[in-house]
Amino acid sequence: MKKWKILYDIVLVVFTAFVLLKTFVISDVKTAQAESTGIYTQTSTSAADTAGTESSSSGTSSGETASATSSSSAVITENSYQDDNISITVTEERIDGTTVYIADITVSSVAYLKSAFASNAYGRNIKETTSEMAESNNAILAINGDYYGFRDYGYVLRNGTLYRSNYESKDDEAFVIYDDGSCETVKEGSASAESLQENGAVQIYSFGPGLIENGTISVTQNEEVSQSKSSNPRTAIGMISPLHYVFVVSDGRTSQSTGLSLYQLASCMQDLGCTEAYNLDGGGSSTIWFNGQVINNPTDGNKSGEREVSDIVYIGY
């Protein structure tokens, strides 16, 4: 009997170790990132024809980083970017004892709102920092995404290509961006990823919850992401109207910035005029990168600096 118990204990330890390694360490490249299709391919081609010379920039060398991959007509300052297709203004506000970074974005086509994977590959535990992904994809503005690679479930549709179509709970909420620039939050049990794609979806993120739906706050004052503190660094994406978006990242977990609750984040998105908004991965993942540099203060409370994540949402050519 004792031998069976020893064998059982060994098997349990090995299995537990494997699960932990698979969850946090072992990379599992399931499918190399497929080439973007449709509007993304067309825009990349046209952008290659018009991308060009260095543009005017006020002050910082970070402007030079963006100008090499921007339209030749771009006007870049420390807190703004403007060309014929993309307009970005970044502001910093104090909300409830927390520094919040707000990027107001208008694009001429949804194709300029893109996603990228770490190491340009889809799979589990493939990770890079937001800034590394932003730089390798010639982004102008980038935020961390939904950290899809930490889970084996949740819809993953990026730049028109569907990578994952299963879900854990029918009530899990996903954020859908369509080819006309409109957005909505959907319950994954109410519509398959394939049907959403057939109806024009080009991006689907699966983290949540939804913050604003049809202009109304859709979280309660006490609602929180599972196992998350009530005040955290946060990342959110919102739509004011089709092709007019807002990226919001808050600091947190420091003496300078407490962090925001989901309800405080939702209230911020509503105050900005969002008709739809969604919570992306937060905490130590929360990062915003603009014109060549990280502009917030990423931290997990124990150490400062960027956390490696599996994906970003970005604006660029």
Q: Is the pLDDT of residue 34 over 70?
A: no
User: Alpha-carbon dihedral of residues 141, 146, 147, 152, nearest 10 degrees?
Assistant: -150
Peptide bond into 209 cis (omega under 30): yes
CA distance 176 to 184: 5
Assess contact for 47 and 53: CB atoms under 8 A. Answer: no
- Whether 230 maps to a domain, the answer reads yes
63 or 219: which leads in pLDDT = 219
pLDDT at residue 301, as a whole number: 65
Q: Is the pLDDT of residue 306 over 80?
A: yes
- Whether 279 maps to a domain, the answer reads yes
Number of domains present in the structure of the chain: 1
- Whether 123 maps to a domain, the answer reads yes
User: Alpha-carbon dihedral of residues 113, 130, 185, 164, nearest 10 degrees?
Assistant: 90
pLDDT at residue 6, as a whole number: 55
- Whether 181 maps to a domain, the answer reads yes
Assess contact for 49 and 173: CB atoms under 8 A. Answer: no
Domain span at residue 195 reads 26-316
The phi, psi pair for 41, rounded to 5°, reads -65, -45
pLDDT digits (tens, 9 = 90+) for 92-119: 999 999 999 999 999 999 999 999 999 9
pTM: 0.82
- Whether 71 maps to a domain, the answer reads yes
Q: Is the pLDDT of residue 302 over 80?
A: no
pLDDT digits (tens, 9 = 90+) for 135-153: 999 999 999 999 999 999 9
- Whether 86 maps to a domain, the answer reads yes
- Whether 16 maps to a domain, the answer reads no
CA distance 133 to 113: 15
- Whether 172 maps to a domain, the answer reads yes
CB atoms within 10 A of CB 173: 22
